Amino acid sequence: MKLVKNENEKINQEISDKEAEEAFIKIIKWIGEDSSREGLLETPKRAMKAFREYFKGYNEDAKQVLEKTFGDLEGYDDMVVQKNISVQSHCEHHMAPIIGVAHVAYIPNKRIVGLSKLARVVEVFAKRLQTQERLTMQIAKTLMEALDAKGVAVSIDATHQCMTMRGIKKEQATTVTNYYLGQFKEDLSYQNRYLRFIAK
């Protein structure tokens, strides 16, 4: 994770905000618009700031999010499930939005993590150019490793604007991905219980 972060910091230093704005000006002209008209004068700067927000995950480390854990389990050894975490990402093929929800579960070993941190990990990886399959796996593997969990399950149900607004234009199509590790993968009873929980 540190490697990705440092590489991105180096790239950021090579490209200035002014250069990014100039790139947006070129795109505005390329689509056939007049970049000098009043309504578009500030658009390159606004777009640059918006892209910085859309892709802020490149400058964040998901493992750091999970560094603070708590050991006072008091014997709790069942799954922790967090449902309906909103996901806003962008596909790496067309840079079109991916909008959906994620469901995350883990089985604690000796430590638990603050509930907001689960959603935060989803956010870190979502705010990058993604495929839904990779996004699902990155969340699961990071939680499994950082928490030393007995098992992790991650599901994402999302709509891809590259399918709904262009190309095949199937507005109602959604994509579901699942990834299981540890007891969720080895014991179908855990997997089935998890699926029932997120279906409610």
Specify the pLDDT at position 24.
98
Specify the pLDDT at position 75.
87
Residue 125 above 60 pLDDT?
yes
Q: Are residues 170 and 94 in the same domain?
A: yes
Q: Are residues 45 and 88 in the same domain?
A: no
Q: Are residues 86 and 162 in the same domain?
A: yes
Specify the pLDDT at position 6.
52
Annotated active-site residue 21? The verdict is: no
Specify the pLDDT at position 1.
39
Find the length of the chain.
200
Q: Are residues 7 and 104 in the same domain?
A: no
Name the active-site residue from 21, 64, 94, 161: 94
Is residue 168 in a domain?
yes
Tokens linked to 176: 């579901």
- What are 77-93's pLDDT values in tens digits? 999 999 999 999 999 99
Give the Å distances, CA to CA, from 178 to 22, 52, 135, 193: 40, 29, 10, 14
Annotated active-site residue 90? The verdict is: no
Is residue 40 in a domain?
yes
Annotated active-site residue 132? The verdict is: yes
Q: Nearest 5°: phi and psi at 100?
A: -175, -155
Percentage of the chain modeled with pLDDT above 70: 94
Q: Write out the residue range of the structural domain in which residue 132 sits.
A: 68-199
Residue 184 above 90 pLDDT?
yes
For the chain, how many helices (H) and strands (E)? 9, 7
Q: Are residues 73 and 138 in the same domain?
A: yes
Is residue 142 in a domain?
yes
CATH of residue 12's domain is 1.10.286.10
- Which pLDDT band, with edges at 50, 70 and 90, does 9 fall under? low
Q: Are residues 120 and 169 in the same domain?
A: yes
Annotated active-site residue 33? The verdict is: no
Structural domains of the chain, count: 2
Is residue 154 in a domain?
yes
Tokens linked to 91: 């596909």
Name the active-site residue from 93, 133, 145, 186: 93
Name the active-site residue from 60, 103, 130, 160: 160
CATH of residue 119's domain is 3.30.1130.10
Segment 43-62 shows an average pLDDT of: 97
Annotated active-site residue 103? The verdict is: no
Name the active-site residue from 21, 33, 64, 92: 92
Segment 126-154 shows an average pLDDT of: 98
Name the active-site residue from 132, 138, 183, 191: 132
Mean per-residue pLDDT over the chain, rounded: 93
Annotated active-site residue 94? The verdict is: yes
Q: Are residues 8 and 77 in the same domain?
A: no
Segment 94-123 shows an average pLDDT of: 97
Distance CA 13, CA 19 (A): 11
Give, to the nearest 10 degrees, the angle between helix 43-54 and helix 17-30.
110
Q: Are residues 168 and 77 in the same domain?
A: yes
Distance CA 41, CA 83 (A): 42
* pTM of the entire predicted model: 0.91
Name the active-site residue from 90, 91, 130, 191: 91
